[in-house]
Amino acid sequence: MTVRVFIPRDAAALSVGAEEVATTLANCIAQRGLDAEIVRTGSRGAFFLEPMIEVDEGGKRIGFGPVQASDVPALLDAGLLEGKGDRLALGEIEKHPFFAGQERLTFARCGVIDPLDLAAYEQAGGLKGLRVAQGQAGANVVEAITESGLRGRGGAGFPAGIKWKTVQDATADQKYICCNADEGDSGTFADRTLMEGDPFSILEGMAIAAHAVEATKGLIYIRSEYPHAIAAMREAVRRWAEAKLTPGFEIEIRRGAGAYICGEETSMLESLEGKRGQVRPKPPIPALEGLHGKPTVVNNVLTFAAVPWVMANGARAYQDFGVGKSRGTQPFQLGGNVKQGGLVEKAFGLTLRELIEEFGGGTLSGRPVRAVQVGGPLGSYLRADELDTPMDYEAMAAIGAMLGHGGVVVFDDTVDMARQAEFAMEFCAVESCGKCTPCRIGSTRGAEVLGHIREGDDVDANLALVRDLCEVLTDGSLCAMGGLTPQPVLSAIDKFPEDFRTGGRA
């Protein structure tokens, strides 16, 4: 009986030698005349274990990792194909501590199947949600999404059902579905992991949305820094179209030009129209006047990928996960100074401490956690005494923070928070679209003033000036780029004041 061996081929695994491992294993299998088939997958998201090999042993997946090409002959000698191994053996992967406590709905297939095998996708539960949706009126689909409590996973957390209902009710000769895959926040990689590991789930979610609102055209806007994701999505779109699963709904891949601001929906729409990526004033909202002035559903990769599960299992089943107004699961992305970096899909409500200590294993340096930034480069910094905050939209907002796209960047007690505040202003200055003065000029002046503070120059007066600049950025910016930049700056100043009095720790 042919043994199936699974090795990831996503960007993260390739960067640490997965291709060399796969090539060496294939050569060894051929040289030894072994009856084994290598299946290339996406990543499960446990990047600290990559490259990881899995073997199907009696229906159970036995893991080994991290594996280097030089380890392969010894692994085969120790019984790799029988699920036996040496020091790299991880046991049944689903029971590994990093995975056992997760609740994988959206990422259930990532790292498990060949991401471009449509038959394997269907066998693993794919297409069920689409077929359920196609058997219902669009209004019923929108009602199910609304009842599920699914909120946009791109950062804002706006209820998906309300957005879809607005587009559904709009009258127009053309409607669009736009998937925002311009994942640019520091410490985030969930979109990339899904595009490379389970692309059909995104297409299925977009197709369900198209059926619900009667859209005939879909576009996926992917950041240029993700060449592997772009290639995977293009091939997935080709195979989807070839299978004729959604006649009348065409999906196209568009490559971004490297602008962080195009993660904001109206800037993305401008870019899709061939214009410079700049924010549009709202109203009108994209749901009424979006791409080419037509009603448009704009959702993030993770939002669309959650839709098939909702339709296949029911809105109430999705409601069973999460807390309060934060329903379902969120893929949290652990990075920075953390021992076990990777993706953790869990229902809303676990605490930041549980995420960092139980899943992340604490800091890589072994030193105490001093600060954690949640929600990307525009998110607030949290102190170590705030780690027991639940990870849901309302709990984070209650302490002046935001969940964003679920990125979590950990810093130990050597971090210079004055430098981090300066970085936030520098980031905004570089990435601003330039359309509004508060964001374009305010961030530039803010970075300069914070530089003076770090040099010990008239600290009190300059701190007061930074606060004034932050107030202007918050109240006068056209979009979240400038409006949220004060969050990391002010949280650093207020929570770590000693770093600003001493010129930082650098």
Is the distance from CB of 194 to CB of 110 less than 8 angstroms? yes
- My answer on whether 264 and 329 are in the same domain is no
Flag whether 202 is in a domain: yes
Using CB atoms within 10 Å of the CB of residue 385, give its burial: 0 to 12 exposed, 13 to 18 middle, 19+ buried.
exposed
Flag whether 213 is in a domain: yes
Flag whether 506 is in a domain: no
Q: Which domain-ending residue is among 303, 319, 335?
A: 319
Using CB atoms within 10 Å of the CB of residue 190, give its burial: 0 to 12 exposed, 13 to 18 middle, 19+ buried.
buried
Is the distance from CB of 319 to CB of 310 less than 8 angstroms? no
Residue 502, pLDDT > 80, answer no
- My answer on whether 265 and 173 are in the same domain is yes
Is the distance from CB of 461 to CB of 480 less than 8 angstroms? no
CB atoms closer than 10 angstroms to residue 317: 14
Distance of alpha carbon 221 from alpha carbon 180, whole angstroms: 5
Q: Which residues of 34-67 are buried (b: 16+ CB within 10 A; e: fewer)?
A: eebeebbbbbbbbbbbbbbbbbbeeeebbbbbbb
- My answer on whether 19 and 72 are in the same domain is yes
Cis omega before residue 51 (within 30°)?
yes
Is the distance from CB of 478 to CB of 279 less than 8 angstroms? yes
Interval 268-314: pLDDT, tens = 999 999 999 899 988 999 999 999 999 999 999 999 999 999 999 99
pLDDT value, residue 355: 96
Flag whether 173 is in a domain: yes
CATH number, domain of 359, equals 3.10.20.600
Is the distance from CB of 407 to CB of 188 less than 8 angstroms? yes
pLDDT value, residue 51: 96
Interval 471-487: pLDDT, tens = 998 998 888 888 888 89
Residue 418, pLDDT > 80, answer yes
- Closest listed residue to residue 204, CA positions, set 177, 165, 170, 171: 177
Average pLDDT over residues 352-361: 96
pLDDT value, residue 506: 54
Interval 16-46: pLDDT, tens = 999 999 999 999 999 999 999 999 999 999 9
Is the distance from CB of 237 to CB of 251 less than 8 angstroms? yes
- My answer on whether 334 and 362 are in the same domain is yes
Residue 505, pLDDT > 80, answer no
Residue with tokens 């604490």, as numbered in its chain: 362
Is the distance from CB of 112 to CB of 118 less than 8 angstroms? no
- My answer on whether 130 and 257 are in the same domain is yes
Could you tell me how many residues make up the chain?
506
Return all residues near 279 (Cβ < 8 A) that are at least 6 apart.
261, 264, 266, 267, 270, 433, 435, 436, 478, 479, 481
Flag whether 288 is in a domain: yes
- Closest listed residue to residue 150, CA positions, set 318, 384, 373: 318
Average pLDDT over residues 82-86: 87
Interval 132-166: pLDDT, tens = 999 999 999 999 999 999 999 887 789 999 999 99
pLDDT value, residue 87: 86
- My answer on whether 123 and 233 are in the same domain is yes
CA distances from 478 to 66, 194, 424, 483 (A): 46, 31, 18, 8
- My answer on whether 389 and 451 are in the same domain is no
Return all residues near 44 (Cβ < 8 A) that are at least 6 apart.
8, 52, 93, 99, 107, 110, 111, 112, 343
Is the distance from CB of 336 to CB of 381 less than 8 angstroms? no
pLDDT value, residue 503: 66
Q: Which residues of 170-187 are buried (b: 16+ CB within 10 A; e: fewer)?
A: bebeebbbbbbbbbbbbb
Identify which has the larger pLDDT, 258 or 272.
272
Flag whether 245 is in a domain: yes
Flag whether 112 is in a domain: no
SS3 of 298, please?
strand
SS3 of 392, please?
coil
The gap from C-alpha 107 to its chain's centroid, in whole angstroms, comes to: 11
- My answer on whether 30 and 48 are in the same domain is yes
pLDDT value, residue 85: 81
- My answer on whether 50 and 141 are in the same domain is no
SS3 of 172, please?
coil
- My answer on whether 312 and 332 are in the same domain is no
Flag whether 106 is in a domain: no
pLDDT value, residue 312: 98
Sheet arrangement for strand 296-300: 250-255, 217-222, 176-181, 296-300
Backbone angles phi, psi at 137, to 5 degrees: -70, 150
Taking phi over 0 as left and psi of -120 to 50 as alpha, with beta for the rest, 384 belongs to alpha
Interval 183-198: pLDDT, tens = 988 889 999 999 999 9
CATH number, domain of 10, equals 3.40.30.10
Is the distance from CB of 54 to CB of 61 less than 8 angstroms? yes
Alpha helices by DSSP H, listed for 92-159, are: 97-100, 118-123, 128-134, 138-148
CATH number, domain of 440, equals 1.20.1440.230
Quote the tokens at residue 234.
């293009």
Overall number of domains in the chain: 4
- My answer on whether 166 and 310 are in the same domain is yes
Question: pTM (2 decimals)?
Answer: 0.95
* Helix, strand, coil distribution of the chain in percent, nearest 5: 45, 15, 35
The range of the structural domain enclosing residue 478 comes to 417-501
Is the distance from CB of 224 to CB of 326 less than 8 angstroms? no
Q: Which domain-ending residue is among 384, 412, 440?
A: 412
Average pLDDT over residues 324-353: 96
CB atoms closer than 10 angstroms to residue 316: 11
- My answer on whether 150 and 253 are in the same domain is yes
Residue with tokens 């001493």, as numbered in its chain: 502
Q: Which domain-ending residue is among 284, 319, 354?
A: 319
Indicate the average pLDDT of the chain. Answer: 94
